[in-house]
Amino acid sequence: MTLPFFILSVLTIAGATAALTLRNLVHCVLALMLAFVGLAGLYLQLDAQFIGFAQILVYIGAVAILIVFAILLTRGAESPSQSIVSPSWPISSVVSVVVFGILAWTIRSSVATRHPIPPQPEVSVRQIGDALMSRFALPLEVIGLLLTAALVGAVTIAMQEKREIK
Amino acid sequence: MTPLASYLLVSGLLFSIGLAGALTRRNAILVLVGIELMLNAANLNFIAFWRYGPNPEALTGIMFAIFAIGVAAAEAAVGLALIISIYRHYKTTNLDQIDSMRG
């Protein structure tokens, strides 16, 4: 465990915790952005530069801004007057803690994490582009189709309902 | 603890936080935020296994993460459009008050 890894993981976990516990929704999104920055840093630590910058572009640049727009369009910017958690929150918390316990126990007892550390891989954006255009060409087309369909679907769903004219 | 185990542990913690948020929060937008965090935890797993796995030059982990980011972006767009549509109908995003299927 190196110091950058420790700082980045604390940043990520603290951001995620704050994003789901704060009352004001706009503050939640700002904390979420912090968690995404921490995750991008973790990707850079893992020598995945392309994914790190894609994370910043897609999540901080697009998804977080989209969520802010949704909050403002649904007038969620004011702090709610009643409780922010649903009545069944004790059961849900127990479920989450149990899930984390099982995951941590599995990771600790797994032999897959005890392999020797391989040397640092050399991955250029050019290699990723080559792979996307050759070996992963079909998945790329499918993801393009999915994004187009999602774009059209999102616009159709969010469009103002027209009054029926008889 | 090996580096892979510590990355997996961070990712597991992130997943559990996202799960807790998605299960406990009342606001639909924050439930979506929790789901985004869970997807990101899965992405971190892909990258960690790619980096510390036996064949990093095959680029499979990177490719999987790229496609997961694409799918998550599409999911966020459609999910937020649904929330805006529901808000227009019920004038609330509180999930406890949205309790009937027909408008």
Q: Could you report the per-residue pLDDT of A81-122, keeping only the tens digit for each?
A: 777 788 888 999 999 999 999 999 999 888 877 777 788 888
Task: At A9, list the tokens.
Answer: 């993981």
pLDDT at B67 over 60: yes
Lowest mean pLDDT among A29-33, A125-129, B32-36: A125-129
Domain ranges of chain A: 1-78, 126-158
Interface test with B, best of A2, A11, A12 (most B CBs within 10 A): A12
Task: Using the structure block, give the residue that is written with the tokens 């992405």.
Answer: B43
> Is there a domain that residue B61 lies in?
yes
**Residue range(s) defining the domain that contains residue B41:** 3-90
- Going by pLDDT thresholds of 50, 70 and 90, the confidence category of residue A30 is very high
A128 inside 8 A of chain B by CB: yes
> Is there a domain that residue B103 lies in?
no
pLDDT at A44 over 80: yes
Are A43 and A55 a contacting pair, CB within 8 Å? Answer: yes
> Is there a domain that residue B9 lies in?
yes
> Is there a domain that residue B69 lies in?
yes
Over residues B29-57, the mean pLDDT reads: 91
Q: How many CB pairs under 8 A join A and B?
A: 235
- Going by pLDDT thresholds of 50, 70 and 90, the confidence category of residue A164 is low
> Is there a domain that residue B96 lies in?
no
Sort out which chain A residues have CB atoms less than 8 A from B72's CB and list them. Answer: 63
Over residues A128-150, the mean pLDDT reads: 93
Are A12 and A35 a contacting pair, CB within 8 Å? Answer: yes
Tallying the residues shown for chain B, one arrives at 103
A158/B96 touch (CB, cutoff 8 Å), yes or no: no
pLDDT at A15 over 90: yes
> Is there a domain that residue B95 lies in?
no
**Crossing angle of helices B28-52 and A64-73, rounded to 10°:** 170
Interface test with A, best of B35, B36, B49 (most A CBs within 10 A): B36
CA distance A105 to A99: 10
ipTM of the complex: 0.91
Tally of domains in chain B: 1
CATH classification at residue B82 = 1.10.287.3510
Task: At B79, list the tokens.
Answer: 């999910």
> Is there a domain that residue B47 lies in?
yes
> Is there a domain that residue B101 lies in?
no
Instruction: Name the minimum distance, in Å, from the CA of B78 to any CA of chain A.
Output: 5
CATH fold for domain A1-78: Four Helix Bundle (Hemerythrin (Met), subunit A) (1.20.120)
Instruction: Name the minimum distance, in Å, from the CA of B36 to any CA of chain A.
Output: 9
- Check residue A163 and give its pLDDT: 58
Task: Mention every residue, 6+ apart, whose C-beta is less than 8 A from residue A84.
Answer: A23, B25, B26, B27
Mean pLDDT, all residues of chain A: 88
